[in-house]
Amino acid sequence: MAQDFDGEAIGQSMTSQVMAPRSTRPTFLAMLLRPLLLATLSCLPACNAQRFFMTTAVGGLSDYFDHPSSAEETLDEVAPGVFTFQSRWERALIVQTPDGLVVTDTFNPTFSRALRSRLERDGLWQPVRTVIYSHHHLDHVGGAAVLEPAEVLAHADAPAHWAATKPRDLLPPTRLVRGDTTLHYGARRIDLVAIPHAHAETHFAILVDNSVLYAPDTIAPGVMLLGGLPSVPLAGYFADMQRLQGLDFEVFVASHFGYAPKDEFVRTVAMMRDLDAIGQGVIAEHRVDGGFRTDKSTLKRAFKDYYDRTHAKYGDWHGFDTHILGTFIRIYTADLLGDTAPVPSPGCNAVTFDGPRCTNSGHLHPVPKSP
């Protein structure tokens, strides 16, 4: 059965969601090197050495998903009447309202069945008023039919994507919205905050009563993003992160891995900015005649410099050794394309939901309102 909301216990639980120091767990490189000698000896001279090393590295990704926050199924109350359910590495937000439950995201049928079963077991199940799809990506929009919602809400441009990808387990939306949208369920307020440059052009962050922020696929507290993400222009990504940082909330919930107090969100965004700034600095140091040299020795020196500088500051973050190469390649590619992240203007430090927001150029303009 549901227990009374305990703010102190929730604070302790959020602390446990942030990754412990890397010294307490094997590094990706250590796990790669253990079998390396015997495997190399066993395959020589017949094997393709490059394929062997790359296959071993890809196999190491499994350790990235083996995070303490995904070790078991959990249902936690992060604010009064606001819950987060985690199964494996997927995490949804569940909000109790006078009109029924509001759920975002549903991911897939297996996840949704586990969610419904857990809510029923804990005496928290009630009819689902609304399922919200935070964005159109297929790994977030399956399984809603299991919850039998009265309404399914999505971005107005999402159906165009689904017409091309034809998702198998999608429950089609019954309501489409565009831009910032406020939903009211009795006294409960849920804001859909448009962040079209953070991960997908159909992307919403979910803000519940200026208390809990659910921002899928943006960051995860204390975790390096998968494969050097974000896979979007960095200037727009950081502008949207700056906007979220300026919102009034106490708890940040990620759609993968854990959840944490707002200061962890701020710290993780700062880490992302710093990784980018260090990379731009390293590339600038190796420029010749205004361009970055692409000969082997220059590339190797640049990555070594980047690794050493970032490892000194962030080597204990979960996923560092797995993804720092992808991060460097992303920054290097952004430099080639001219897609580097500008330093935000002073005005961007005071962004609020009802006020101005940062643009890619660092200037401010009013937040667009839904009709």
**Do residues 225 and 323 share a domain?**
no
Boundaries of domain holding 296: 274-337
182 and 107 in one domain? yes
Residue 359 lies in a domain: no
pTM of structure: 0.81
**296 and 191 co-located in one domain:** no
Q: Is the pLDDT of residue 87 over 80?
A: yes
First to last CA, the chain: 41
Residue 321: alpha-carbon gap to chain centroid? 18
CB-CB contact of 128 with 142 (8 Å):
no
Helices in the chain by DSSP H: which ranges?
Answer: 7-17, 28-33, 36-43, 49-59, 61-65, 109-121, 158-165, 234-245, 262-285, 296-314, 320-337
Q: Are residues 168 and 306 in the same domain?
A: no
The answer on 220 and 145 residing in a single domain is yes
Domain boundary among 243, 267, 291: 267
Q: What integer pLDDT is reported at residue 330 of this predicted model?
A: 86
317 in the same domain as 245? no
State mean pLDDT over 147-166: 97
What's residue 209's pLDDT?
97
Q: What is the pLDDT of residues 267-310, one digit of tens each?
A: 999 999 999 999 999 988 887 666 666 788 888 999 999 999 99
**What is the β-pairing status of strands 175-177 and 151-155?**
parallel
Clarify whether residues 258 and 314 are in a common domain: no
Whether 16 has a pLDDT exceeding 70, the answer reads no
Q: Domain for residue 36, yes or no?
A: no
Give the model's pLDDT for residue 18: 54
Same domain, 302 and 197: no
What are 209-233's pLDDT values in tens digits? 999 999 999 999 888 887 666 777 7
147 occurs within a structural domain = yes
pLDDT at site 19: 43
**Strands of 175-177's sheet in order across:** 74-79, 82-87, 90-97, 100-104, 128-132, 151-155, 175-177
Q: Are residues 238 and 192 in the same domain?
A: yes
For residues 112 and 153, membership in a common domain is answered with: yes
How many domains, in total, are found in the chain? 2
CATH of the domain at 175: 3.60.15.10
